[in-house]
A = this chain, B = another copy of it.
Protein backbone atom coordinates (compact mmCIF):
# COMPACT_ATOMS: atom_id res chain seq x y z
CA UNK A 1 0.00 0.00 0.00
CA UNK A 2 1.62 3.23 -1.14
CA UNK A 3 0.91 6.19 1.13
CA UNK A 4 0.34 9.55 -0.52
CA UNK A 5 -0.01 13.04 0.96
CA UNK A 6 -1.53 15.87 -1.07
CA UNK A 7 -0.69 19.59 -0.91
CA UNK A 8 -3.00 21.55 -3.16
CA UNK A 9 -4.79 24.80 -2.46
CA UNK A 10 -7.69 24.31 -4.86
CA UNK A 11 -10.41 22.66 -2.77
CA UNK A 12 -12.12 20.97 -5.65
CA UNK A 13 -8.99 19.44 -7.13
CA UNK A 14 -7.71 18.43 -3.73
CA UNK A 15 -10.92 16.55 -2.93
CA UNK A 16 -11.01 14.95 -6.36
CA UNK A 17 -7.47 13.69 -5.96
CA UNK A 18 -8.18 12.37 -2.52
CA UNK A 19 -11.20 10.42 -3.71
CA UNK A 20 -9.24 9.17 -6.70
CA UNK A 21 -6.47 7.88 -4.50
CA UNK A 22 -8.74 6.16 -2.02
CA UNK A 23 -10.53 4.37 -4.85
CA UNK A 24 -7.32 3.36 -6.63
CA UNK A 25 -5.78 -0.01 -6.07
CA UNK A 26 -2.70 -0.01 -3.87
CA UNK A 27 -2.91 3.60 -2.70
CA UNK A 28 -3.99 5.29 0.46
CA UNK A 29 -4.13 8.99 1.21
CA UNK A 30 -2.54 10.00 4.48
CA UNK A 31 -3.61 13.62 4.25
CA UNK A 32 -4.80 16.35 1.92
CA UNK A 33 -3.81 19.88 2.83
CA UNK A 34 -4.52 23.32 1.34
CA UNK A 35 -1.13 24.83 2.22
CA UNK A 36 2.29 24.03 3.58
CA UNK A 37 1.97 25.58 7.01
CA UNK A 38 3.07 22.97 9.53
CA UNK A 39 3.92 20.72 6.63
CA UNK A 40 6.92 19.13 8.32
CA UNK A 41 4.97 18.40 11.49
CA UNK A 42 2.08 16.94 9.49
CA UNK A 43 4.42 14.68 7.55
CA UNK A 44 6.18 13.70 10.74
CA UNK A 45 2.90 12.59 12.31
CA UNK A 46 1.43 11.10 9.14
CA UNK A 47 4.34 9.61 7.22
CA UNK A 48 3.91 8.86 3.55
CA UNK A 49 5.91 7.51 0.63
CA UNK A 50 5.18 10.18 -1.94
CA UNK A 51 3.95 13.75 -1.71
CA UNK A 52 1.82 15.14 -4.50
CA UNK A 53 2.77 18.81 -4.48
CA UNK A 54 1.23 21.83 -6.14
CA UNK A 55 3.56 24.74 -6.91
CA UNK A 56 1.28 27.74 -6.69
CA UNK A 57 0.11 27.96 -3.11
CA UNK A 58 -0.41 30.75 -0.61
CA UNK A 59 2.40 30.91 1.93
CA UNK A 60 5.25 28.51 1.29
CA UNK A 61 5.27 27.56 -2.38
CA UNK A 62 5.66 24.03 -3.62
CA UNK A 63 9.27 24.39 -4.67
CA UNK A 64 10.45 25.65 -1.30
CA UNK A 65 8.31 22.99 0.32
CA UNK A 66 9.97 20.34 -1.83
CA UNK A 67 13.39 21.46 -0.68
CA UNK A 68 12.31 21.18 2.95
CA UNK A 69 10.83 17.73 2.44
CA UNK A 70 13.96 16.47 0.74
CA UNK A 71 16.08 17.87 3.54
CA UNK A 72 14.04 16.36 6.34
CA UNK A 73 12.77 13.17 4.72
CA UNK A 74 15.35 12.12 2.14
CA UNK A 75 13.57 8.90 1.19
CA UNK A 76 10.24 10.60 0.55
CA UNK A 77 9.41 11.35 -3.06
CA UNK A 78 7.84 14.53 -4.30
CA UNK A 79 5.74 14.55 -7.45
CA UNK A 80 5.16 18.08 -8.66
CA UNK A 81 1.87 18.95 -10.28
CA UNK A 82 1.22 22.40 -11.64
CA UNK A 83 -1.06 24.26 -13.99
CA UNK A 84 1.77 26.18 -15.59
CA UNK A 85 4.39 25.29 -18.10
CA UNK A 86 7.24 27.51 -17.02
CA UNK A 87 10.97 26.96 -17.50
CA UNK A 88 12.01 28.43 -14.20
CA UNK A 89 9.42 26.28 -12.41
CA UNK A 90 10.79 23.19 -14.09
CA UNK A 91 14.36 24.15 -13.43
CA UNK A 92 13.83 24.99 -9.79
CA UNK A 93 11.61 22.01 -9.10
CA UNK A 94 14.29 19.67 -10.38
CA UNK A 95 16.98 21.40 -8.36
CA UNK A 96 14.74 21.23 -5.31
CA UNK A 97 14.71 17.47 -5.64
CA UNK A 98 11.39 16.61 -7.29
CA UNK A 99 11.02 13.03 -8.52
CA UNK A 100 8.60 13.93 -11.27
CA UNK A 101 6.70 16.78 -12.81
CA UNK A 102 3.23 16.56 -14.28
CA UNK A 103 0.71 19.09 -15.50
CA UNK A 104 -2.76 19.33 -14.02
CA UNK A 105 -4.18 18.55 -17.42
CA UNK A 106 -3.12 14.96 -16.74
CA UNK A 107 -6.01 12.49 -16.67
CA UNK A 108 -6.98 10.71 -13.43
CA UNK A 109 -5.49 7.47 -14.66
CA UNK A 110 -2.40 9.43 -15.66
CA UNK A 111 -2.05 10.63 -12.07
CA UNK A 112 -2.22 7.07 -10.82
CA UNK A 113 0.28 5.89 -13.42
CA UNK A 114 2.64 8.68 -12.48
CA UNK A 115 2.44 7.84 -8.78
CA UNK A 116 3.13 4.19 -9.53
CA UNK A 117 6.12 5.15 -11.63
CA UNK A 118 7.53 7.30 -8.85
CA UNK A 119 7.21 4.43 -6.44
CA UNK A 120 9.03 2.06 -8.76
CA UNK A 121 12.02 4.36 -9.19
CA UNK A 122 10.94 6.28 -12.25
CA UNK A 123 10.39 9.96 -12.88
CA UNK A 124 7.14 10.56 -14.71
CA UNK A 125 6.89 13.72 -16.71
CA UNK A 126 4.31 15.19 -19.00
CA UNK A 127 5.90 14.70 -22.45
CA UNK A 128 6.26 18.39 -23.17
CA UNK A 129 7.90 18.92 -19.79
CA UNK A 130 10.43 16.24 -20.55
CA UNK A 131 11.27 17.97 -23.79
CA UNK A 132 11.75 21.30 -22.02
CA UNK A 133 13.92 19.63 -19.46
CA UNK A 134 16.17 18.15 -22.11
CA UNK A 135 16.56 21.56 -23.63
CA UNK A 136 17.30 23.18 -20.29
CA UNK A 137 19.88 20.51 -19.75
CA UNK A 138 21.49 21.21 -23.07
CA UNK A 139 21.47 24.97 -22.76
CA UNK A 140 23.04 24.80 -19.33
CA UNK A 141 25.58 22.09 -19.85
CA UNK A 142 26.40 22.21 -23.50
CA UNK A 143 29.81 23.68 -24.16
CA UNK A 144 29.42 27.03 -25.83
CA UNK A 145 31.50 25.53 -28.62
CA UNK A 146 30.84 28.44 -30.93
CA UNK A 147 33.65 30.31 -29.24
CA UNK A 148 37.07 28.97 -30.05
CA UNK A 149 39.85 31.26 -28.99
CA UNK A 150 42.62 29.18 -30.54
CA UNK A 151 44.50 28.80 -27.31
CA UNK A 152 47.46 26.46 -27.40
CA UNK A 153 47.66 23.55 -24.98
CA UNK A 154 50.16 25.39 -22.85
CA UNK A 155 48.01 28.47 -22.76
CA UNK A 156 45.01 26.44 -21.66
CA UNK A 157 47.08 24.90 -18.88
CA UNK A 158 48.12 28.29 -17.64
CA UNK A 159 44.65 29.73 -17.97
CA UNK A 160 43.40 26.80 -15.93
CA UNK A 161 45.86 27.60 -13.18
CA UNK A 162 44.86 31.23 -13.30
CA UNK A 163 41.25 30.18 -12.87
CA UNK A 164 42.29 28.13 -9.88
CA UNK A 165 43.55 31.31 -8.28
CA UNK A 166 47.25 30.77 -8.77
CA UNK A 167 49.57 33.76 -9.00
CA UNK A 168 52.22 34.20 -11.68
CA UNK A 169 54.81 32.98 -9.24
CA UNK A 170 52.94 29.84 -8.32
CA UNK A 171 52.26 29.05 -11.96
CA UNK A 172 55.92 29.51 -12.77
CA UNK A 173 56.92 27.22 -9.92
CA UNK A 174 54.41 24.50 -10.77
CA UNK A 175 55.23 24.59 -14.47
CA UNK A 176 58.98 24.84 -13.97
CA UNK A 177 59.28 27.90 -16.15
CA UNK A 178 60.42 31.43 -15.51
CA UNK A 179 58.12 34.09 -14.17
CA UNK A 180 58.60 36.04 -17.37
CA UNK A 181 57.50 33.09 -19.44
CA UNK A 182 54.27 32.93 -17.51
CA UNK A 183 53.89 36.61 -18.21
CA UNK A 184 54.41 36.05 -21.90
CA UNK A 185 51.83 33.29 -22.04
CA UNK A 186 49.31 35.28 -20.09
CA UNK A 187 49.89 38.26 -22.34
CA UNK A 188 49.10 36.06 -25.32
CA UNK A 189 46.07 34.61 -23.60
CA UNK A 190 44.72 38.07 -22.89
CA UNK A 191 45.20 39.03 -26.52
CA UNK A 192 43.37 35.96 -27.76
CA UNK A 193 40.55 36.39 -25.28
CA UNK A 194 40.37 40.14 -25.88
CA UNK A 195 40.67 40.94 -22.20
CA UNK A 196 43.19 42.86 -20.20
CA UNK A 197 43.14 41.54 -16.70
CA UNK A 198 43.19 38.29 -14.85
CA UNK A 199 39.69 38.71 -13.48
CA UNK A 200 38.27 39.23 -16.96
CA UNK A 201 40.15 36.23 -18.28
CA UNK A 202 38.91 33.98 -15.48
CA UNK A 203 35.36 35.17 -15.96
CA UNK A 204 35.47 34.55 -19.69
CA UNK A 205 37.20 31.21 -19.30
CA UNK A 206 34.54 29.89 -16.98
CA UNK A 207 31.54 31.33 -18.78
CA UNK A 208 32.72 30.14 -22.18
CA UNK A 209 33.68 26.82 -20.66
CA UNK A 210 37.23 26.99 -21.89
CA UNK A 211 38.21 25.30 -18.65
Does A29 sit within 8 A of B, measured CB to CB? no
Does A108 sit within 8 A of B, measured CB to CB? no
Does A68 sit within 8 A of B, measured CB to CB? no
Inter-chain contacts of A97 with B (CB < 8 A): 138
Does A142 sit within 8 A of B, measured CB to CB? yes
- Residue-wise, chain A 1-45 has the 8 Å CB interface mask toward B (1 for contact) of 000000000000000000000000000000000000000000000
Contact check, A131 vs B122: say whether CB atoms are below 8 A apart.
yes
Number of this chain's copies in the complex:
2
- Residue-wise, chain A 170-211 has the 8 Å CB interface mask toward B (1 for contact) of 000000000000000000000000010111111110110000
Complex CA–CA separation, A199 to B162 (angstroms): 7
Inter-chain contacts of A155 with B (CB < 8 A): none
Complex CA–CA separation, A42 to B31 (angstroms): 57
Complex CA–CA separation, A185 to B201 (angstroms): 22
Q: Tell me if A's interface is mostly helix, strand, loop or mixed.
A: helix
Q: A15 → chain B, closest Cβ, in Å? A: 29
Inter-chain contacts of A164 with B (CB < 8 A): 200, 203
Inter-chain contacts of A94 with B (CB < 8 A): 134, 137-138
Contact check, A99 vs B162: say whether CB atoms are below 8 A apart.
no
Q: Which residues of A94-131 have CB atoms within 8 Å of chain B's CB atoms?
A: 94-95, 97-100, 117, 120-128, 130-131
Inter-chain contacts of A203 with B (CB < 8 A): 163-165, 202, 206
Contact check, A131 vs B138: say whether CB atoms are below 8 A apart.
no
24 cross-chain CB contacts under 8 A? A95-B137, A98-B134, A122-B131, A123-B125, A123-B127, A123-B133, A124-B130, A125-B125, A133-B134, A136-B137, A137-B137, A140-B141, A163-B199, A164-B200, A165-B204, A197-B198, A199-B199, A199-B201, A199-B202, A202-B202, A202-B203, A202-B206, A203-B206, A206-B206
Residues on A lying within 8 angstroms of B by beta carbon are 91, 94-95, 97-100, 117, 120-128, 130-131, 133-134, 136-138, 140-143, 162-165, 167, 195, 197-204, 206-207
